[in-house]
Structure 1
Amino acid sequence: MELPRDSYMMRIFTEERARGPHHRALFEDIVRKARDDGIAGASVLRGVMGFGSSSTIHNANILDLSSNLPLVIEIVDTEEKLRAFFHSIEDFNDIGLVTMEKVEVLHYG
């Protein structure tokens, strides 16, 4: 798929324990849906420390094997496709902050 030079990136901030509508991890449901919807690309990034609206700090402590670390799902495509994709997932539980920004694609593929 060819991406236009001026594309967009959506970021979805969530956490490891969040569950999607198919009883899998939320990030897995979102990435699978993005692929099925023909979105250009998606990646999941695991944070080593962070906090969100609850102000509870989550961190990668070696003694805490059941941690609930922050995740960022980055999805890239055109603005129109990303807005349509967001409307198709906005009812998923546990989606946190969602941002979108214009990005310049220097190389793809």
Structure 2
Amino acid sequence: MGLKGEAKLLRIFIGESDRHGGRPLYEAIVLEARRMGLAGATVFKGFMGYGAHSKIHTAKILQLSEDLPVMIEIVDEEAKIQAFLPVLEGMMKEGLVTLEKVEVIRYQG
């Protein structure tokens, strides 16, 4: 699979405890992106953050780490990302989704 030049970067911000279909939401999103043939996805776990509810989530040793922030990045051509968005919308109850233009310099398997 080749991907080069202009593409889209989809960023999804959710909580570690968010679930879909009995599994972690981040896992369900990555598996669905793979099933739909998107070029790739990566999940990042945050150490600290807050979202729409303004509740701080942290991994500090003295505080119980609950629902740490998770970010998923998916890069592919615009048409594939646009086709994935309605599926993603059906999976998420809350969170933040952003989309931006990127230039792919190198992508090789």
Q: TM-score range by the shorter chain?
A: over 0.9
What's 2:23 paired with? 24
Q: What stretches of structure 1 of length at least 5 have no aligned partner?
A: none
Question: Identity over aligned residues, as a percent?
Answer: 49
What's 1:41 paired with? 40
Richer in strand (by share):
2
The question of 1:75 aligning with 2:74 is answered yes
Do the aligned partners of 2:59 and 2:65 also contact (CA within 8 Å) in 1?
Answer: no
TM-score (norm 2): 0.92
What's 1:107 paired with? 106
The question of 1:52 aligning with 2:31 is answered no
1:3 aligned partner, one-letter code:
L
In the TM superposition, what whole-angstrom CA distance separates every residue of 1:1-34 from its partner, at most 9, and x where no partner exists? Answer: 11131011100100100001x2100000000000
Give aligned pairs, total: 108
TM-score (norm 1): 0.92
1:81 aligned partner, one-letter code:
K
Give the 4+ runs in structure 1 shifted more than 6 A.
none
Q: CA RMSD for the aligned pairs?
A: 1.2
